[in-house]
Structure 1
Amino acid sequence: MQLYTVTEIEQTQQDLPYLIEVMEWVKSFLARHHPNLGRPGPVCPFVPYALKSNSIQMAVIRGNNLTFQQLEEIVKCYRDIFLQGDTKDKEFDIYRAFLLIFPDVHINENFQLIDRIQQKLKPLFVESGLMLGEFHRNTQSSGLHNPNFRPLRSPIPLLAIRFMVDSDLPFLQNPDDDPYLRSKYLEAYLKRFAHTSTDKAKLNTAYQALALAKEQIQEILINS
């Protein structure tokens, strides 16, 4: 049974349009194939089963009167809640996701706020075996199979929390990232998959990318 206070009902009424809009976007875009995707299957291959298993949860975060630090702490709290979540079978954890919706950012078109939070907190999330993705209508992040496709564009700004999967390697070895940061990402990736992944090619690529990052760090230290 679920009981609601008047305040909770009023808050739900305010949040519901944003929840519905994002839910429809997940169903009509992420869970389906797009002709510009560059590969077969849905935009996100995990979403169809996540929808079927009811593994996606959403929250609306109103940020008009919150500082960047306060929003950052809220996202970190959701990280902790996500890690505390329990499933009967751990192999299905990869289908779990939190979508944190920021409608006030949408109204004010301050999309850089979403990017800043994601960039600031990504190392913390990766260290915990998680990924933190930024979505809004102006993101320039391109698809892995088609550089002209923008899979991270959403109707309302949001941050997505999910567990890291072995196919996330390209997002963790970006040569534009600082080598110190890249090294931490790749170490977290290998810690998670070195003894569980059957994709030896990906593991070898990760080890090579980590060795390169460490070489670059050494060069920085020598030249500093």
Structure 2
Amino acid sequence: MTPLALNASRVLADPKAPAWAADTARWARDELGSPVPALGRPGTLCPYMPKALREERVELLECPLPGLSAADLTTHLKRAAREFAEEAGRLEPAEALLSCRIVVYTALAVPDRVLTEVRRRVKPLLLAQGLTTGEFFPENDDRSVRNATVPIARSPWPALVLRHSTPHDRIFLADQPELYRLFREAGPGVAATAA
């Protein structure tokens, strides 16, 4: 399967964009790219998202296949990560820092169990390469490390996001010793000072 990759910024301006893409692009802009005062810090939920959207660095990729197992989705995500790393490897560090690929699973029936399992399988491999991923879905109950009352990973469609790791990721990995070790050994994929 070679799915069509869509640019989130262009999707936001396209009234004929598919629903999954339009919903995901609006989520990236309006939720990830907006301030959340309850976090107790200034700025947006994802500090890179507003600039990433302005510079057209957010890619949307649909995985529309129903009935895929965690093993199938793991294989698919590894391929998407490999392609993302190859493309981002040709960029300047400041561009690579802003680049992300949002893989949207439009036919996934039970996203919580499946995506969490896929992320669990793939994240160690990605961290060792200077990449990372997180899972997002409508009922995701992951909470902010700054304020445990704030859910931070709810999206309109089930998705896994691929991006370079940054020094900031140590905050999210501090309570996961094995992942933190891999992150420290590999180092961040892109220095956060490039933004």
TM-score range, shorter chain: 0.7 to 0.9
Task: Give RMSD over aligned pairs.
Answer: 2.3
For 2:65, the equivalent position in structure 1 comes to 63
Asked if residue 97 in structure 1 is aligned to residue 95 in structure 2, the reply is no
Q: Does 1:166 align with 2:186?
A: no
Of structures 1 and 2, the one scoring higher in RCO (CA 8 A, sep 6+) is 2
Write 1 or 2 for the structure with the bigger share of strand: 2
Could you list the per-position Cα deviations for residues 159-208 of structure 1 after superposition, in whole angstroms to 9, with x for gaps in the alignment? 0000111111122221xx3x444422332237x68xx788xxxxxxxxxx
Q: Specify which structure has the higher proportion of helix.
A: 1
Deviations 1:19-68 (A, max 9, x none): 11101111111111123222111111100000000000011102313232
The corresponding residue for 1:183 is 181
Letter in 2 for 1:132: T
1:37–1:149 Cα contact (<8 Å) kept:
yes
- Quote the residue 2:8 is aligned against: none
Normalising by structure 2, we get a TM-score of 0.82
Assess, with a 3 A threshold, how the Cα gap between structure 1 residues 88 and 129 changes in structure 2: closer, same or farther. closer
CA contact (8 A) 1:172 1:186 kept: no
Which ranges in structure 1 are unaligned for 5 or more consecutive residues? Answer: 5-14, 199-224
TM-score normalised per structure 1: 0.72
Runs of 5+ consecutive residues of structure 2 not aligned to the other structure: 5-16
Greater gyration radius: 1
How much identity, in percent, do the aligned residues show? 23
Q: Which runs of 4+ in 1 moved over 3 A?
A: 179-182
